[in-house]
């Protein structure tokens, strides 16, 4: 098996070199965007992602945070470690926006993007003649989806779920329930629920990656973090926030 693994790794690397030499780096990037091809390449750590891709992966766990508050975080560009972003929606103009950017976004970039140097938050473009909206802006709240009952989830159990078609991972540890996007690395089709739980450490069955199941952070001195989803348990029922919904005015 080790010999086959070495042969596959070398062959895939040479195929990528040939594609780049024959069709340029743009062709290699387009080929690697295919989900199945990308998953195969990620199994062998090929190819190294460009800066924009690394930034998008680093922020996968941050996007749901802004979405749950009715806002949107958009990456405008990445140049030599300088990341330009823009906030829109309900987050635009919030008093805590600057603090949130520094605390949440910068932390994610420092952990998931090795080349990170600076975060620049740009102002949203001016309004272009949209009609004036009278009254309050629609209020939003997390949209909770029921995924089962606590009594049916054994302590230490790792369970795969697909509420509304989204691949999620549910883990019960020390009386608490944790939910993450199901994939290693984050965004991959390689399911984590086939892994094992060693104490509070979730071990990936594909790469041996080790995650703290309580926070989603890597424990093996490597970059990467699982995308955390809010969990609520009430009257024994487990619910996961998978988006936002508008709240009707009273």
Closest alpha carbon to 241 in 96, 91, 140: 140
pLDDT digits (tens, 9 = 90+) for 205-235: 888 888 888 888 888 776 677 878 888 888 9
Q: Given a cut of 80, is residue 250 above it in pLDDT? A: no
- Give me the residue spans of the domains in the chain: 2-48, 52-122, 139-247
Q: Which of 21-25, 62-66, 180-184 is predicted with the least confidence, judged by mean pLDDT?
A: 21-25
pLDDT digits (tens, 9 = 90+) for 139-159: 777 788 899 999 999 999 999
Rounded to whole angstroms, the Cα distance separating 91 from 69 reads 7
What are the tokens at 29? 């990037």
pLDDT digits (tens, 9 = 90+) for 86-137: 877 655 555 455 555 667 888 888 887 878 889 888 876 665 655 555 566 6
Residue 149's pLDDT is: 93
Burial of 243 (0-12, 13-18, 19+ CB in 10 A): middle
The CATH code of the domain at 139-247 is: 2.102.10.10
**Per-position b or e across 108-144, b if 16+ CB within 10 A of its CB:** bbebbbeebeeeebeeeeeeeeeeeeeeeeeebebeb
Rg of the chain over Cα atoms, rounded to whole angstroms, equals: 21
pLDDT > 90 in the chain, percent: 8
Rounded to whole angstroms, the Cα distance separating 180 from 68 reads 15
The pTM is what? 0.47
* Strands 139-149 vs 237-247: parallel, antiparallel or unpaired: antiparallel
The CATH code of the domain at 52-122 is: 3.30.300.130
The total number of residues written for the chain in this structure: 250
């Amino acid at each position: 098996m080790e010999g086959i693994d070495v042969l596959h790794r070398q062959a895939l690397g040479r195929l990528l070199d040939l594609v780049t030499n024959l069709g340029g780096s743009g062709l290699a990037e387009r080929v690697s965007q295919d989900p199945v091809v990308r998953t195969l390449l990620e199994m062998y750590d090929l190819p190294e992602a460009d800066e924009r891709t690394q930034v998008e992966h680093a922020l996968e766990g941050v996007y749901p945070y802004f979405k749950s508050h009715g806002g949107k975080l958009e990456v405008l560009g990445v140049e030599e470690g300088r990341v330009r972003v823009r906030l829109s929606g309900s987050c635009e103009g919030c008093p805590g926006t600057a603090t949130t950017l520094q605390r949440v976004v910068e932390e994610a970039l420092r952990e998931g993007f090795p080349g990170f140097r600076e975060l620049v938050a740009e102002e949203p473009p001016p309004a272009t003649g949209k009609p004036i909206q009278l009254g309050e802006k629609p209020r939003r709240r997390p949209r909770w989806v029921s995924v089962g009952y606590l009594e049916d989830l054994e302590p230490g159990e790792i369970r795969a779920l697909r509420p509304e078609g989204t691949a999620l991972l549910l883990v019960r540890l020390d009386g608490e329930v944790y939910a993450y996007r199901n994939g290693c690395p984050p965004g991959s089709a390689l399911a984590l629920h086939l892994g094992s739980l060693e104490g509070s450490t979730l071990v990936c069955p594909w790469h041996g990656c080790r995650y703290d199941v309580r926070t989603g952070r890597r424990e093996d001195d490597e970059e990467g973090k699982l995308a955390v989803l809010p969990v609520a348990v009430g009257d024994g029922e487990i619910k996961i926030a998978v988006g936002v919904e508008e709240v009707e005015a009273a």
